């Protein structure tokens, strides 16, 4: 990071056009260390800088990495068609920053979703070559049996897939629930694998990516948080 005038810093953080950011400063809406800054020409070191805007404190981040506990009936798309888009439940500045979902969850699938404005990060996390394990909690229409678990572990054949797809891990957790770990990330994979094994997915939640879990993040549905370096390191 480097030194910039406050209006440019606000613009870089997604708080609007430079003209709008200048107005916010001139109107006394931005403060640093408890002091309102009204001089748009004042320069600050971006590294480690925090500022308060509309009584909410923000840390300057060169790029953002976000974890969201996605609720149901939300589309992971910047141009949703039937349900609200995921960015509508996040602060507006993330849209200005061109934050995008890392991969997708179906509109009716809930749980851990990553978002970022770092293109290299999005590409790396989305690449099938990385084989990042993802843990899902699936609720089934029919009771879970050991035969179902065994079949998912052995591999099931899906339409348009050249070879059977197998779970890395699978176990029953309730009469109608199982945990399953996948690394391929195929289209509707959990739902299709359950259907191929003779059951049906009634509800699906992603609970972990790599070693990063919703439980550790303590996010309720619809809540989000920034990911710090130690948490990003768990995405492997």
List active site positions. Answer: 106
Q: Judging by beta carbons within 10 Å of its beta carbon (0-12, 13-18, 19+), is residue 175 exposed, middle or buried?
A: exposed
User: Contact 184/147 with Cβ under 8 angstroms?
Assistant: no
For residues 165 and 163, what is the distance between their CA atoms, to the nearest angstrom?
A: 6
Q: Which residues contact 66 (CB under 8 A, 6 or more apart)?
A: 90, 94, 99, 114, 115, 116, 224, 225, 226, 227
Question: How many CB atoms are located within 10 Å of the residue 89 CB?
Answer: 15
Q: Which tokens is 133 given?
A: 């394990």
Question: How many CB atoms are located within 10 Å of the residue 73 CB?
Answer: 11
For residues 90 and 222, what is the distance between their CA atoms, to the nearest angstrom?
A: 9
For residues 150 and 152, what is the distance between their CA atoms, to the nearest angstrom?
A: 6
Q: Which tokens is 122 given?
A: 């999005």
Helix 146-154 × helix 189-196 angle, to 10°:
120
């Amino acid at each position: 990071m480097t030194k910039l005038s406050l209006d440019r810093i606000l613009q870089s953080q997604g708080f609007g056009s430079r003209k709008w950011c200048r107005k916010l400063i001139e109107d006394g809406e931005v403060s640093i260390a408890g002091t309102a800054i009204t001089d748009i020409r004042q320069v600050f070191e971006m590294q480690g800088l925090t500022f308060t805007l509309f009584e909410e404190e923000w840390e300057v981040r060169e790029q953002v990495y976000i974890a969201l506990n996605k609720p149901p009936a939300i589309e992971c798309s910047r141009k949703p068609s039937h349900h609200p888009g995921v960015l509508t439940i996040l602060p507006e500045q993330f849209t200005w920053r061109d934050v995008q979902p890392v991969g997708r969850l179906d509109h009716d699938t809930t749980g851990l979703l990553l978002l970022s404005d770092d293109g290299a990060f999005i590409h790396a996390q989305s690449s099938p070559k990385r084989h990042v394990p993802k843990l899902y909690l699936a609720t089934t229409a029919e009771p879970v049996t050991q035969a179902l678990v065994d079949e998912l572990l052995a591999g099931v054949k899906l339409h348009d897939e050249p070879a059977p797809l197998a779970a890395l891990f699978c176990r029953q957790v309730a009469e109608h629930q199982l945990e399953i770990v996948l690394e391929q990330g195929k289209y509707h994979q959990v739902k299709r694998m359950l259907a191929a094994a003779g059951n049906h997915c009634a509800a699906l939640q992603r609970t972990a990516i790599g070693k990063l879990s919703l439980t550790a993040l303590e996010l309720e549905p619809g809540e989000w948080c920034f990911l710090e370096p130690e948490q990003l390191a768990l995405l492997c």
